[in-house]
Amino acid sequence: MVLEDGSGPGLRAANGQHWRYVADTVMGGVSTGALTRGLCHGTQALHLTGAVSLANNGGFVQMALDLAPQGQVLDATRFAGLSLLLHGNDAHYNIHLRSPDMVRVWQSWRVQVQIPARWVQIFVPFSDFTPHRTELPVQPARLSRIGLVAIGREMRVDLALARLELV
């Protein structure tokens, strides 16, 4: 099931929802960045750029996508995980999944991936995600949001996403 195919228009994903840029500034941090769509490293893609700062208890920038319309969930139990076509800057990035059952903004299921400075197709099984600040086990039947996140250390952010699908 294709969630993002690089084509847009604007920040609209293939699933009909809109990508959003979110940074630690919502909590007083000072990280900076932007999320755009266009030709990136020779391919149509979403492009997250910026700088993560740990000042003022900050430390993240992300591109986030609701996986279903407001108040609904995506049941991904018939899939094994996520396939992503990414281009990075030889840095670690996180993939966060959320459920509507998570009541605190810092709760998620997370996995960290190293993204080289070239286009790479990666597969991330749901079994690789681990709970972060939640006791909830990973529940592919109750997905509400995905985030591709630069988090936890000062860094230059340069992450492009050309394709995202459940496989």
Mean pLDDT in residue range 46-67: 96
Whether the per-residue pLDDT at 1 is higher than 90: the answer is yes
Name the burial class of residue 87, with classes exposed (0-12), middle (13-18) and buried (19+) by CB atoms within 10 angstroms of its CB.
Answer: buried
- pLDDT tens for residues 64-123? 999 999 889 999 999 999 999 999 999 999 999 999 999 999 999 999 999 999 999 999
- Looking at residue 132, its pLDDT comes to 98
- pLDDT tens for residues 12-39? 999 999 999 999 998 899 999 999 999 9
Using alpha carbons only, give the angle 130, 11, 88 rounded to the nearest 5 degrees. 55
Q: In what order do the strands lie in the sheet with 145-151?
A: 19-23, 60-66, 145-151, 91-98, 108-115, 130-132
Q: What percent of the chain has pLDDT over 90?
A: 95
- pLDDT tens for residues 133-151? 999 999 999 999 999 999 9
Instruction: Please name which of 138, 149, 85 lies closest in space to residue 112, comparing C-alpha atoms.
Output: 149
Residues in the chain: 167
Domain map (residue ranges) of the chain: 2-166
- Looking at residue 102, its pLDDT comes to 96
Q: Which CATH architecture has domain 2-166?
A: Sandwich (2.60)
